[in-house]
Amino acid sequence: MMKIYLTYPISKFFDAPKSSHGNLICALTMFLVLVLSMPNDALAGKTLDAIKQRDQVVCGVNTGLAGFGAADSQGKWTGLDIDICKAIASAVLGNAEKVKFIPLSAPQRFTALQSGEIDILSRNTTFSLTRDASLGLHQTAVTFYDGQGFMVPVKSNIKSAKQLKGASVCVQSGTTTEKNLTDFSKANKLDIKPIVFEKLEAANAAYFLGRCKAYTTDASGLASIRSKEAKEPKEHLILPDLISKEPLGPMVRRGDDEWLAISKWVIYGLIEAEEYQINSKNIENLKSQSTDPVVMRLIGKSEDMGKLLGLDREWLSRAVSQVGNYAEIFDRNVGEKTPLNLKRGLNALWSQGGLQYAMPIR
């Protein structure tokens, strides 16, 4: 932070002739305008300092949600939330692989971030007023627009969530899902009976063993669970009803504005890169051939946006080159050619009928 010292004693202002007060005020005003207009490059915050010292980003993720955050038998992590952490590591450390993934249950996740065990929580977490205002955490940017839904066995012949009157429904504790289910039940006088589990794996097992008539969580999560856990995915139906808004994205601790800025602008950069058709396959050619002012700015060939974040000018270029733009990340992990088979829908760009709208990098 830049410090400014004013050495003119305030007592002399009152001792000076009144005729000179106007000149002094004018001079002070001009001085402040000059100082406030000076360029102010970002200084590294304590989180970024710690990351650079250990040469690794520590990222809190799901214990196992296919398409968003899951490890294979060799311990390799993949998923949309995983790729967001990798993109951030690319931007700040130059290497997408310099990430340590910490699997966390829903009740564990906020404590792990608050305590400093992780640098960022990228774990299909809903943004809400309560979480933003009472946990000592900051929401960054939405990486996936979702809504809470229900999954039922096809043989139940249930076609709508309003047919769940008196039904037992599996739900995970420590989530917005649990409260949404209660609100939905009360509002529609359904007397739904929640069967609550702390761990995702336990909720999954209970549903597929028939302990619950239905399963509720984010619709994307249901698609993931069905594709990974069901013996016959076609025997389970995700109902068309969505009972809530679930904007999902990473969270960071309060008190480190520099790290908050880096985290959210990397996400905006991935979305903006898609909008300007910059991807991992064409970015090297664009560096030598493009004359588009916006493209040149995004890939670091003209203005240096990185210095405002405490990074170098290649920060976004590396993230896109090593991990891909938002479309590449979406399609690779949850898109129509994956087992989840999710359409872009609300997650399409704003210019294509969706909600993904990046703040401009300029």
DSSP states of 279-336? -TTTHHHHHHH---HHHHHHTTSSS--GGGGTS-TTHHHHHHHHH--HHHHHHHHTST
**Closest Cα to residue 197, out of 185, 184, 207?**
207
In a domain, residue 53? The reply is yes
Q: Which amino acid is at 88?
A: I
84 and 199 part of one domain: no
8 A C-beta contact, residue 263 and residue 88:
yes
**Closest Cα to residue 57, out of 108, 97, 106?**
97
In a domain, residue 358? The reply is no
155 and 240 part of one domain: yes
Model pLDDT, residue 36: 44
How confident is the model over 65-109, as pLDDT tens digits? 999 999 999 999 999 999 999 999 999 999 999 999 999 999 999
User: Model confidence at 4, in pLDDT bands (50, 70, 90)?
Assistant: very low
In a domain, residue 333? The reply is yes
> Of the candidates 219, 244, 269, which is a domain's last residue?
244
262 and 336 part of one domain: yes
Q: How far apart are the first and last CA of the chain?
A: 23
211 and 229 part of one domain: yes
105 and 161 part of one domain: no
How confident is the model over 299-308, as pLDDT tens digits? 999 999 999 9
51 and 136 part of one domain: yes
8 A C-beta contact, residue 263 and residue 250:
yes
In angstroms, the CA 48 to CA 258 distance is 8
Model pLDDT, residue 216: 97
255 and 306 part of one domain: yes
Q: Which residue has the higher pLDDT, 79 or 8?
A: 79
Least confident of 33-47, 129-143, 150-164, 316-330: 33-47
233 and 287 part of one domain: no
Beta bridge partners of 70: 78
Model pLDDT, residue 41: 45
Model pLDDT, residue 101: 98
Residue 52, domain extent: 46-145+248-352
308 and 169 part of one domain: no
Q: What is the torsion angle, in degrees rounded to the nearest 10, for the CA atoms of residue 83, residue 88, residue 90 and residue 93?
A: -140
**Closest Cα to residue 316, out of 257, 248, 264, 357?**
264
User: Model confidence at 174, in pLDDT bands (50, 70, 90)?
Assistant: confident
Domain total in the chain: 3
Residue 277 has pLDDT above 70, yes or no: yes
CATH number for the domain spanning 160: value is 3.40.190.10
**Two tokens, residue 154:** 């096809």
Tell me the H-state helices in the chain.
10-15, 18-36, 46-54, 80-93, 106-114, 129-134, 176-187, 200-208, 219-229, 257-275, 283-289, 293-298, 315-323, 326-333
Mean pLDDT of 15-42: 49
Residue 67 carries which DSSP code? T
8 A C-beta contact, residue 320 and residue 300:
no
Residue 317 has pLDDT above 50, yes or no: yes
> Of the candidates 202, 222, 244, which is a domain's last residue?
244
**What distance lies between CA 49 and its chain's CA centroid?**
21
How confident is the model over 209-257, as pLDDT tens digits? 999 999 999 999 999 999 999 999 999 999 999 999 999 999 999 999 9
The sign of the CA dihedral 258, 263, 148, 150 is: negative
Model pLDDT, residue 102: 98
Buried b (16+ CB within 10 A) or exposed e, 236-275: bbbbebebbebbbbbbbbeebebbbbbbbbbbbbbbbbbb
Model pLDDT, residue 260: 98
343 and 267 part of one domain: yes
DSSP states of 144-178? EEE-EEEEEEGGG---SGGG-TT-EEEEESSSHHH
79 and 132 part of one domain: yes
